[in-house]
Amino acid sequence: MKRFLCGFIGVLAIYGSAYSMDGELVSLDTSDPLYMAADDRILSTTDIGYGNDFLRLGQGFEYGVNDRLSMHANTHYQFDFAHNRRERGFSSIELGGVYRAGLADDNSMGVVSDVLFGINFGGNHRVSDLGLRKNHKTDESITDKTKYFAGVRIGRQWAGVTLSGTVKSTWIFDNAKGMAMLDFMPEMYFRMVEGWRFGVGLTARLSTNPDFDKEWLKFKVLRQFGQTQYAVIYSYEYEEEESSIGMQLNILF
């Protein structure tokens, strides 16, 4: 099985890198893990997902301040079909940005490097955000805390393949519930024929509270039509053994 998966990924990489997109720019591929909204462009991201008796609806926007900086905001509303419907309401609001510290043209290897930063605040304390669940329940004493994050992301884009890696640190400053989390997020993303895309990513989290050490595996398949993308996303979290499936719509203005 391992040999099959390695061979399959190798074929995808070779096929994807050889494929010419016939003038379709990588800059319009809004699901690319290295995507950043260009100067004065607006990206709308709408998603819906179901898993573990929860239905989550989300909306986000990203605005390109210039060719080096973009800002974003997003939130989710969660419907709870179990747990006495307690875990229903809005998640925290995320405000953040991406600064492109290094362009592909800045070095001989064509590597892109970004600096990430932001804050999560507000929302219903019974609604989990950032994967802050243990024993299949939301830790209400933590979800209502303000969270600050910063990180770095590096990667390279080819015509058919993007490889990226992100390291992000999140902090909760509280005398009783203070905590820090470190996320490692490698991702592979393939541009296939006729606008089809495929991505696979892993998130490994280390926390100062071992209850929140997590590992997520995520797959996405999508189709691009011009500046619009339609995606199906599946994710699985190993520690809680929880999975979810959903859809996402990206529209670039």
Interval 189-229: pLDDT, tens: 999 988 999 999 999 999 999 988 999 999 999 999 999 99
**CA angle at residue 135 from 244 to 140, to 5 degrees?**
90
Give CA–CA dist 231/48, Å, rounded. 11
Measure CA of the first residue to CA of the last residue in the chain; give whole Å: 43
Q: What is the pLDDT of residue 69?
A: 98
Indicate whether 1 pLDDT > 90: no
Strand partners, 131: none
Question: Strands 54-64 and 69-80, how do they pair?
Answer: antiparallel
Q: Does 25 or 14 have the greater pLDDT score? A: 25
Q: Which residues contact 68 (CB under 8 A, 6 or more apart)?
A: 99, 100
Class of the 2-252 domain? mainly beta
The whole-model pTM stands at 0.88
Local structure of 178: helix, strand or coil: coil
Q: What is the pLDDT of residue 86?
A: 76
Indicate whether 47 pLDDT > 90: yes
The residue whose two tokens read 């061979």 is: 7
Burial of 85 (0-12, 13-18, 19+ CB in 10 A): exposed
Indicate whether 37 pLDDT > 50: yes
Q: Where do the structural domains in the chain lie, given as residue ranges?
A: 2-252
